[in-house]
Structure 1
Amino acid sequence: MVLSPAERKNGRLSKNKLSLALRALSEVGYVVIEGVIPGDFLHEIKQVCNRTLHRYLKKEENRQHCIDDRAGHVGMSAPCKMPFMDAQIIENSFAMQILHEAMDGDFFCTFYNTNTAWPGSGVQRIHRDTKQLFPGLPFSLPIHMVVVNIPLVDFTIENGATEVWPGSHLICDDQNESRINAERAQTLPSIRTVLRAGSVVVRDMRMWHRGMPNRTDTIRTMLALVYFRGFLNRDSQL
């Protein structure tokens, strides 16, 4: 989805574009708005993030967990300081507009992380980040957990663009929802999320996905902000 000059100026999607975004989120499981974050700010936060990641991985326990145990897929909490706390990121107007409509205006952010595919990283197992709200039901309920991702570099096949299974957020007959059957996944269409840096991705966290190998010599990072519907227990998550 590409912003018009008027949408970019107003910081809001048009009525028609918002309707399309909500439909994609509901039916496909994610929506991409291209080129939202300005290049100068994107460069700043990327440089700060890369320095912070290198410091984070100097600790042996962090390095072992991320590089050895997680096959080079690094998860680091975003520092609660600028530029990570800039409003363009933590309350991006386009993402907030979509979330407000998709989650009935009652949602809160419970998690802010960075997801990095380190050079030489491997393939993650296929998984979903949250299960169906009521797994015993034979049908899927409306969205209850969302992640907003912002890539700090272009996502390409070479540097490990995430693989996703469109429509898989609606699957509700999984026997083990955290570990997806790879043979079953092979029978369903998947796509690699090739993205421009600074795009905003809004994704239903029930969607099947996996991190892919970074075959370049450059760090590939995206920011990840997780939002829950308001009725979910805040105290157990904070």
Structure 2
Amino acid sequence: MTVNNQSQSQAQAVEISEEERQNGKYSDLSLQKALEGMHQDGLVVLKGVVKLDHIAALNRQMSAAAEKKRDDPTQNYNHSVKSNFLQRPPVTKPDLLYDDIYYNPFVLQLANAYLGHKPIWNWLTANTALSNTGGMRQGVHKDNAFIHPQYPYFFIANIPLCSTSIENGATEFWLGSHAHTSNHDQIVATKPEQVTGHYLMGEPLPAITQEAQDARRMIRPPIQQTCAAGDIMVRDIRLWHAGMPNETDTHRIMLGLGYQSMTCHLPASQKSFFESTPSNVEARAVFYDEDAFEKTTRDTEFNLKPVYS
């Protein structure tokens, strides 16, 4: 079978003009390009939409925190692979709460257009590809552990805190898999030990079957999406992906903001910032006092089932 000529391409990248930057809004043609990328590939890169000094400040703070987490023998690892863990952004520090991170106007413009309604921001975390973890990678998966709908209902804005490359663990994405595969391509929970948290017996797990991977690879093989500091990668939640090895001496940290059907878990001390949302997004959150926020692990859970009302 002949491999699609598009198979090795990176995702659609949307450059920003100075006029768009000043207006805080994409032109119709730029928004169309972003929407085409989302619908066709399930992933689009919004170029240069975050200030570099904001990225650098968050990276310094979170890299230091990652070192402490790595030294903790009780630390849980993402997909049980010791190359990557989830890490909370420093949301208790008001000097590190930036509008272009948490209320980025270009992300929100795309969210309104792609999801078809005012988005609900309800998920916040970060994932860290740990330094010097060559040869360690996640299995191919999607972030849906249920029979998910076959239309756009949730997307994640990933904000890397440094430029990403194959060497430092740029995420592997299977472009187009969000629209051209289904939950039938996922491994089903059939054993009691597979039923943990919100996973249910008889329902799909995140992992993709080897047969489905082999078939999809012949149509459009995966790529490792590279981007620069200041870019935001937006992906449909249904897109297949995998965390990759980081062979460098520095951590590769990437924030994740999700828009649609859960609740964020945030500190009450910064409630005024997180409730001062722009008119084109609703923040849905549970707020905790300092001690309870430090102890909660609810923001590492991935129950992304849509809720209809």
After superposition, residues 1-238 of structure 1 pair within 5 angstroms as 1-62=14-75, 65-66=76-77, 69-81=80-92, 82-121=94-133, 122-130=136-144, 133-134=148-149, 140=150, 142-170=151-179, 171-172=181-182, 173-176=184-187, 177=204, 178-185=206-213, 186-187=217-218, 188-228=220-260, 232-233=306-307
- Separation in 1 of the partners of 2:67 and 2:112? 36
Aligned length: 226
- Residue-by-residue CA offset, 1:167-221 (whole Å, 9 max, x unaligned): 1001124253521123532333211111101101110010001011101111111
- Percent of aligned positions that are identical: 30
Change (3 A) 1:85 1:212: same
SS of the equivalent of 1:77 reads coil
8 Å CA contact retained: 2:79, 2:138: no
> 1:49 and 1:120 mapped to 2: Cα distance?
17
Q: TM-score, normalised by structure 1?
A: 0.86
1:165–1:190 CA contact under 8 A, matched in 2: yes
- C-alpha RMSD of matched pairs (Å): 2.2
**Runs of 4+ in structure 1 over 4 Å off:** none
Which has more radius of gyration?
Answer: 2
8 Å Cα contact 1:11/1:94 also seen in 2: yes
Alignment gaps of 5+ in structure 1: 135-139
Q: Report the more deviating stretch, 82-91 or 205-214.
A: 82-91
With 167-176 and 8-17 compared, the bigger mean Cα shift is at 167-176
Counterpart amino acid of residue 88 in structure 2? S
Is the CA contact 1:132–1:206 (under 8 Å) kept in the aligned structure 2?
Answer: no
Deviations 1:98-150 (A, max 9, x none): 0011122232122211111101331100000125534xxxxx3x211111001
**TM-score scaled to structure 2, two decimals?**
0.68
Identify unmatched segments of 5+ residues in structure 2: 1-13, 188-203, 263-304
